[in-house]
Amino acid sequence: MKLASQSQLSSWLPSIHPQVWIFAIGRFLSEVGTGCTLFYAPIFFVNQVGLSATSVGVALGSASISGVVGRIVGGSLADSEHWGRRRTLLLATVISAIGSLVLAATDNFTILVIGSLISGLGIGFYWPAAESVVADASQIDNRRETFAIARLADNLGLAIGIMLAGFLISVIGSYRWLFVIDAISFLVFFGVIYVGISKTEQQQIEESEKTELFASWIAVLKDGRFLVYIAVNIFFTIYISQIHSTLPLFFKNFVIKSTSEGFAQTTISVLFAWHLVFAIICQLPVTSILKRCSHTLALTVSAIFWAVGFGLIWVSGIAPSDNLVWAIVALGVFAVAIVSYTPSAASLVTELAPENQRGVYFSINALCWAVGSFIGHPLGGWALDQPEIITNSYWLCFILSVAIAVAILQYLNRILSE
């Protein structure tokens, strides 16, 4: 069985386009910087800058506002013959670097909002072009694996970034330098894109063969199958936003060990590093297993894992003992939920989108992340500012929401089969 698995991996790994590997290296380096701040940002702004959890949630959620603009414009630019994926990515990395530097200087709510808006704009420009680059370099028979490689690079970089951040905080005691490192990582990513990423085949199509911009957006918005997918995808992005912003604060300020304190910062660092390391370990095997399933079935499996994970987080908050064990298991389950979701979701979008409209399709797909952050960050911050019984019950509500997501997925499966 082991030999069969190795044979299967070797059969498709060589078929991955070389540009995907180069792009994955750049994403890895960038995510090292992002990992330094992703889970520590809410802790820094609440516990050191002195802002409330609700205000931090609102400020971080404001990134989704500029993110909407970035995703709309970025998707159109990525499909443009005269601009294209590469230039859009270069612009995104520069904007993101500026946003990180502003966040490094944050000492009040206003600057935090400004930094979040700039960062959201950079992320908005980045994702439609990034997903389109991977989609352009993939083939039908290796599409999920190609997206899995890109996500593997992301998770590996995040894991190293989290561990690096924990070490740096213990040594220098300053969170601000983490944002400076993040800015530097974006500039390194700029260099990798500039040197290693060229125009893809899709971008070399003559302009006369391309759909007009306005007509392209109208066509996407008339795609009923894609709109149903978008509806369920928003659920997944809200779930993921809880891991990035709500859970670190929940572990720090609410989960009890043997005293009235939550987990120590080093414990939180190890927890989220474990989450990402387990995601790295599971990414390719889970992708290989779910490749035999339809996209909707794979997403349903992901939804079930999300429900189980939220239940375990609820237990970690109310259990009289072994809270850390419950948190470890929960983050492991969340890792499987994410690696089940990302390749299948991106592959489904690629299959639904005409080749000359992938930027626009991925732009709308990326808008789900903006909506998820806009809803998820403030919602999580609000829940953490409520009495303990409401904060703990918050996780149970997500379990109920999974039932809605699964119902939408069953409907999507039916219309895709018609």
Other CB atoms within 10 A of residue 209 CB: 8
Residues 295/347, Cβ–Cβ less than 8 Å = yes
pLDDT tens string 326-366? 999 999 999 999 999 988 998 898 888 887 777 788 888 88
pLDDT tens string 93-108? 999 999 999 999 998 9
At residue 213, the pLDDT reads: 62
Which one is predicted more confidently, 101 or 78? 101
pLDDT tens string 188-224? 999 999 998 876 544 444 444 444 666 677 777 888 8
Domain with residue 336: its CATH number is: 1.20.1250.20
Taking Cα atoms as reference points, which of 240, 249, 323 lies closest to residue 279? 240
Which one is predicted more confidently, 262 or 207? 262
**Cα–Cα–Cα angle for 25, 28, 30, rounded to 5 degrees:** 110
Does the structure show a pLDDT above 70 at 259? Answer: no
| Domain contains 211 | no
Q: Where are the beta strands (DSSP E) in 72-115?
A: none
H-type helices in 222-264, by residue range? 224-241, 247-253
| Domain contains 203 | no
* 64-73 average pLDDT score: 86
Domain that holds residue 258: 17-198+218-417
- Give residue 320's pLDDT band: very low, low, confident or very high (50, 70, 90): confident
CA–CA gap between residue 147 and residue 167 (Å, rounded): 31
* 200: three-class secondary structure by DSSP: coil
| Domain contains 395 | yes
H-type helices in 173-212, by residue range? 176-196
CA–CA gap between residue 84 and residue 355 (Å, rounded): 14
CA–CA gap between residue 44 and residue 36 (Å, rounded): 12
| Domain contains 10 | no
Does the structure show a pLDDT above 70 at 47? Answer: yes
Handedness of CA 288, 289, 293, 294 (dihedral sign): negative
Q: How many domains does the chain have?
A: 1
Residues 46/97, Cβ–Cβ less than 8 Å = no
Does the structure show a pLDDT above 80 at 177? Answer: yes
Does the structure show a pLDDT above 60 at 241? Answer: yes
Taking Cα atoms as reference points, which of 315, 304, 308 lies closest to residue 250? 315
Lowest mean pLDDT among 66-75, 79-88, 150-159, 192-201: 192-201
Does the structure show a pLDDT above 60 at 4? Answer: no
Does the structure show a pLDDT above 80 at 405? Answer: yes
At residue 226, the pLDDT reads: 92
Averaged pLDDT score across all residues of the chain: 84
User: What is the maximum alpha-carbon separation in the chain?
Assistant: 68
Alpha carbon of residue 194 to chain centroid:
24
Q: Which residues have a Cβ under 8 Å from the Cβ of 112 and sit 6 or more positions away?
A: 45, 49, 51, 56, 59, 103, 106
At residue 40, the pLDDT reads: 79
Residues 120/101, Cβ–Cβ less than 8 Å = no
Other CB atoms within 10 A of residue 393 CB: 15
Within 13 Å and on the Cβ side, how many CA atoms surround 398?
A: 32
| Domain contains 207 | no
pLDDT tens string 267-289? 887 888 888 889 989 988 998 88
Question: What φ, ψ does residue 50 adopt, rounded to 5°?
Answer: 95, 20
- Give residue 13's pLDDT band: very low, low, confident or very high (50, 70, 90): low
| Domain contains 205 | no
Which one is predicted more confidently, 259 or 46? 46
CA–CA gap between residue 356 and residue 284 (Å, rounded): 29
* 156-181 average pLDDT score: 85
At residue 158, the pLDDT reads: 85
At residue 261, the pLDDT reads: 57
Residues 87/145, Cβ–Cβ less than 8 Å = no
At residue 12, the pLDDT reads: 47
| Domain contains 158 | yes
| Domain contains 8 | no
Residues 39/169, Cβ–Cβ less than 8 Å = no
Taking Cα atoms as reference points, which of 126, 101, 135 lies closest to residue 27? 126
* 67-93 average pLDDT score: 86
Rounded to two decimals, the pTM is 0.76
At residue 357, the pLDDT reads: 78
One-letter amino acid identity for 67?
G
